[in-house]
Amino acid sequence: MIKNIKDIYRILGKYKWYYIFSTIILLVSIIARALEPKVLQVAVDNVIGKYITGNKITESKNNDVVSRFFDYLLPKLNESNFGEILLLLGIIYMVISLLRSLFLFISSAIKHHSTQSTIFRLRNKMFNHIQHLPLSFFSTISKGELMQRCTGDVDTIKDFIDQQIINFLRLSATFIFSFIMMYFIHPNYAFYSVCLAPFIFVLSYYFFKKEIAVWEEHEKEADKLNSMVQENLNGIRVVAAFSNQEYEIERFKKQNKAKMKMGVKQAKLQAYFWPLTDLICNIQLVISVIIGGYFTLQGDISVGELLGFNSYLGMVTMPMRHLGRILSRMGIALVAMERISEIIEKPLEEDLGEIKTGKLSGKIEFRNVSFTYDGKQNVLEDVSFIIPSASQVAIIGESGSGKSTIIKLLLRFYEPTHGKILIDDIPIQKYNKSFLRAQIGSTFQKAFLFSSTIQQNINYTKMDAMEYEIDAAAAVAQAIEMKDKFNKGFNTLVGERGVTLSGGQKQRVALARTILVNPTIIVLDDTTSAVDTITEKRILNELDNSLKGKTAIIIANRIASIQKASWIIVLDKGKVAQQGSQKDLLKNSVFYQSIQDIQSHLEEEIQLEIAN
C-alpha cells in the first residue's frame, strides 16, 4: 500500500508542486470568501443601520482585521453622504468577489492542467512500456484486461488526483489552522474538541482496508466483463452464424451481475461508514458544546471566545467528516495504481545482443532445439537442421506440429528451452533484437492489417518507400490488381473504418509488406493458404525471382507452394521426422508422399490453366 502511495506521488513528478501551489491559491480564495459577509455586516450594522436610526456612523465592537480596517476608513468619509459610502462598500465587496473568483479560477486551472499533464504522461508511459514488453507477456493477460488498465484504471487515478489531492491538502490545512486558533483561545478545550478524532482515524483506516479488498474484486470482475465484450465483438460473425446471441446475452448478463454485485458491496460499505463518521462528528460537536458551556460558566473563557471557538469547531470537524470519503477514493485509486504498476514495472524485453550492423549471409542453424510454452509439454523436441544461405527451404507437417513455433523462436519472440539457434554461425542472442528482426522479413500465418489505407499497410515496414517500390512489391505479391479494383486504389481504407478485404487479399497485402523491406531472410508462414491456386502459382513464380540470393523459409502444406524448395523439413509432433530433397522425401516420407499424391492431380490442372 505504501508502495502504491509512493507510486502515485512519483507519477505526479514536478506537478506535485503545482498542486501545492493550487491549494495555497485556493485557500486565499476561501479567505476572500470569508471576508464577503464581513463587508455586508459592516454595511448593514455600521452604515445602513445608522442611517435608518439617524445615528452617526460608529465604530464596530469587533476586533478582527476587516472591522479594524473599516473602523479606520469610515470616520474619514463624509458622513452626510451615505449613498457614496454605500457605493464604496459595494465596490469593495465587488473587488473582493472578483479576486475570489480570479483565485478560484487560477487554482482550478493549475489543478486541471496538472492533472491532464500527469495523465498524459502516464498514458504515454504505459503505451511505450507495452510496446517494448516481451511478447510472452501478452499470452498471460487478456486484451480486455489490458484495455481496462489503460483506460478505466487511468481514469480512476485521474479522478483521484484531480479531486482529492487538493481536497486533502485543503482539509488538512483547515484542520491545522482551526486547531491552532482553538488552541490559542484555550488549549485544553482545543484538545477536548478533537478527542474523538482518533476514533475516526481508526474507523476510516478499517473501512479503507475493506474498500481496497472490495474494489480489487470489482476490478477483476470488470476485467472479465471487458474481455468478454472484446471477444464477443471479435467473434460477432461466429455468434451470428450460429445464432448464439441469446447464449452470449446470458453470459454477459451473468458477468455484468458479478460486477454489479461488487459495486453494490462497495456502495453498502460507504452507506454504513459515512453515517457512522457523521454520527461520531456530531457526538464530538455535542461534547465540545457542553465542555464549552462548562468552561464559560467557570469563567475560563468569555462568551465572545465561546462564539469564536464555535465557528472554528465547525471548521475542525469538517475535515474529520471528509476523511473517510477521501480515504475511500484513495483506496480505489491505490488499487488502480497497483494494477497500472503491474504493467509499467514488468521488466522490458531483455536485449543483450551487441551485433547491430552488418550484412548477413542468411545461414540458419537449429541445433538440438527444444521448446515448451507452458513449461510442461515440449512443442519442439531436439529439432536440428541447417539452412544454407541463399537457399529455399520448406517446412511441412501436420497442423500443430510446431512449424510456426520455429519461426517465433527464430524471431526471438520466445527463447528455446534447450539447444541453440544460429544465424551465420553466431547464436541469435548475440544479435540486437531489432537488427535481427529487420533482417528477417516474415509474413505471419494470420495476416493482420491496420485500419489504414492499403498503401500504409504495405509501406508499414518502410515508411519512406517510393511509389514504384511499393508497386513492385505489390506486383510480386499479386496485390497490384487492387489498385484498379478499388475506386481509391491503394488509398482505400481497410479494416474497421473501411472496406473489408478478403482473406486472400489480406494475405497478399501482408506479403507485399514483407517483400518491400527486401530482407536477407524471408519467412512465409502459410502466406498463400487463402489465395487461389492460380494466383498462388503466379506469386511463387514472381517470388522465385525476387528471392534470388535470399534465404527463404516457406511453411506450407500445398505441394505447389514448396516445389521450388531445395530442402524440405518434415515436422511431426515437434520432432524432425525427415528432411531432405524432394526426391529423398518421395522415397522416405509417408507424409510427403501422401500430400504429393493428393495434390498432384490438382497441380496438373493448374499448369494447364496457366498455359492457356
Q: Which residues make Cβ contacts (< 8 Å) with residue 359, sequence separation at least 6? A: 520
Site for ligand ATP in 420-449 (CB under 6 A): 445
- Span interacting with Mg ion, options 9-17, 445-453, 515-523, 530-538, rule CB under 5 A: 445-453
- Torsional sign, CA 186, 192, 198, 199: negative
Q: What's the CA gap between 523 and 229, in Å, rounded?
A: 34
In the complex with Mg ion, the residue whose CB is nearer, 326 or 395, is 395
* Residue 399 binds which of Mg ion, ligand ATP, none (CB < 5-8 A, kind-dependent): ligand ATP
418-423 and 364-372: which strand pairing? antiparallel
* 139 lies in the site for ligand ATP, by CB under 6 A: yes
In the complex with Mg ion, the residue whose CB is nearer, 322 or 403, is 403
* Residues 581, 475, 459, 494, Cα dihedral to 10°: -110
Closest CA to 531 of 562, 560, 508, 559: 508
Among 310, 445, 452, 557, binds Mg ion (CB under 5 A): 445
C-alpha distances in angstroms, 502 versus 282, 305, 343, 443? 70, 84, 36, 17
Q: Cβ of residue 237: shortest distance to ligand ATP, in angstroms?
A: 21
- Span interacting with Mg ion, options 91-99, 284-292, 403-411, 573-581, rule CB under 5 A: 403-411
Q: Cβ of residue 375: shortest distance to ligand ATP, in angstroms?
A: 10
Sheet holding 521-525, edge to edge: 440-443, 521-525, 551-555, 392-397, 567-572, 575-580
In the complex with ligand ATP, the residue whose CB is nearer, 300 or 572, is 572
* 67 lies in the site for ligand ATP, by CB under 6 A: no
Among 51, 201, 252, 373, binds ligand ATP (CB under 6 A): 373
* 562 lies in the site for ligand ATP, by CB under 6 A: no
* Residue 331 binds which of Mg ion, ligand ATP, none (CB < 5-8 A, kind-dependent): none
Among 78, 131, 243, 399, binds ligand ATP (CB under 6 A): 399
Among 324, 353, 402, 504, binds ligand ATP (CB under 6 A): 402
To 5 degrees, how large is the angle CA 517–CA 520–CA 522?
Answer: 75
What letter would DSSP give residue 14?
A: T
Q: Cβ of residue 399: shortest distance to Mg ion, in angstroms?
A: 7
* 405 lies in the site for ligand ATP, by CB under 6 A: yes
In the complex with Mg ion, the residue whose CB is nearer, 288 or 561, is 561
* 404 lies in the site for ligand ATP, by CB under 6 A: yes
Using left for φ > 0, alpha for ψ between -120 and 50, and beta otherwise, residue 56 falls in beta
Q: Cβ of residue 400: shortest distance to Mg ion, in angstroms?
A: 8
Q: Which residue is nearest to Mg ion (CB)?
A: 404
In the complex with ligand ATP, the residue whose CB is nearer, 143 or 488, is 143
Q: Cβ of residue 107: shortest distance to ligand ATP, in angstroms?
A: 51
Q: Cβ of residue 442: shortest distance to ligand ATP, in angstroms?
A: 13
418-423 and 575-580: which strand pairing? unpaired
Q: What's the CA gap between 588 and 592, in Å, rounded?
A: 8
* Residues 354, 356, 359, 362, Cα dihedral to 10°: 60
Site for Mg ion in 242-301 (CB under 5 A): none
- Span interacting with Mg ion, options 46-54, 239-247, 320-328, 440-448, rule CB under 5 A: 440-448
Site for ligand ATP in 194-233 (CB under 6 A): none
Contact predicate 386/363, CB 8 Å: yes
In the complex with ligand ATP, the residue whose CB is nearer, 480 or 571, is 571
* 403 lies in the site for ligand ATP, by CB under 6 A: yes
96, amino acid identity: I
* Residues 86, 88, 92, 97, Cα dihedral to 10°: 60
Contact predicate 414/136, CB 8 Å: yes
CB atoms within 10 A of CB 200: 21
Q: How many residues bind Mg ion (CB under 5 A)?
A: 3
* 507 lies in the site for ligand ATP, by CB under 6 A: no
In the complex with Mg ion, the residue whose CB is nearer, 136 or 500, is 136
What H or E segment, with its residue span, contains residue 423? strand 418-423
* Residue 379 binds which of Mg ion, ligand ATP, none (CB < 5-8 A, kind-dependent): ligand ATP
Q: Cβ of residue 445: shortest distance to ligand ATP, in angstroms?
A: 5
* 401 lies in the site for ligand ATP, by CB under 6 A: yes
- Span interacting with ligand ATP, options 7-15, 153-161, 291-299, 394-402, rule CB under 6 A: 394-402
Q: What's the CA gap between 49 and 42, in Å, rounded?
A: 9
Q: Cβ of residue 403: shortest distance to Mg ion, in angstroms?
A: 5
In the complex with ligand ATP, the residue whose CB is nearer, 288 or 378, is 378
How far separated are the first and last CA of the chain, in Å rounded? 75
Beta bridge partners of 364: 387, 423
107, amino acid identity: S
The alpha helices in 414-564, defined as continuous H runs, are 433-439, 454-458, 467-476, 482-485, 503-516, 533-546
* 379 lies in the site for ligand ATP, by CB under 6 A: yes
Closest CA to 358 of 549, 520, 523: 520
What letter would DSSP give residue 152?
A: I
Q: Cβ of residue 556: shortest distance to Mg ion, in angstroms?
A: 10
Sheet holding 364-372, edge to edge: 378-387, 364-372, 418-423, 426-427
- Span interacting with ligand ATP, options 13-21, 45-53, 177-185, 371-379, rule CB under 6 A: 371-379
- Torsional sign, CA 291, 292, 297, 301: positive
Instruction: Return residues touching ligand ATP (CB under 6 A).
Output: 139, 373-374, 379, 397, 399-405, 445
Instruction: Return residues touching Mg ion (CB under 5 A).
Output: 403-404, 445
